[in-house]
């Protein structure tokens, strides 16, 4: 039997990258909550995938707190077809 081909690795989702940034920051959820105004329970739900998502305002606050920027590293797909 031939070995299975590895699936091409897809870029991780933005939400996954945010969770990684939270881990890498070394900040507690309490501290992030105080700096962003996002409740600890909302952060916990987001972190554990139990929350549908964060509002744009919450995402902006989280990005500022964690000193994140979005970098485009590929061209958007051509959707004209």
Q: What is the CATH number of the domain that holds 49?
A: 1.10.260
pLDDT at 13 over 90: no
Residue 72 covered by a domain: no
Residue 24 covered by a domain: yes
pLDDT score recorded for residue 76: 61
Predicted confidence (pLDDT) per residue in 21-67, tens digit: 999 999 999 999 999 999 999 999 999 987 678 899 999 999 999 99
Number of domains in the chain: 1
Residue 74 covered by a domain: no
Residue 9 covered by a domain: no
Q: How far is CA 67 from CA 6, 10, 25, 32, 70, in A?
A: 34, 25, 9, 12, 10
pLDDT score recorded for residue 5: 66
Residue 42 covered by a domain: yes
Residue 7 covered by a domain: no
pLDDT score recorded for residue 73: 75
pTM listed for this prediction = 0.69
Quote the domain boundaries for residue 18: 14-66
């Amino acid at each position: 039997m031939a070995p299975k081909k590895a699936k091409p690795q897809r870029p991780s989702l933005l939400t996954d990258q945010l969770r990684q940034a939270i881990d890498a920051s070394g900040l507690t959820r309490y501290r992030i909550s105080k700096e962003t105004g996002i409740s600890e329970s909302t952060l916990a739900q987001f972190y554990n995938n139990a929350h549908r998502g964060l509002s744009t305002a919450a995402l902006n606050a989280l990005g500022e707190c964690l000193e994140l920027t979005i970098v485009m590293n590929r061209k958007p797909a051509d959707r004209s077809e």
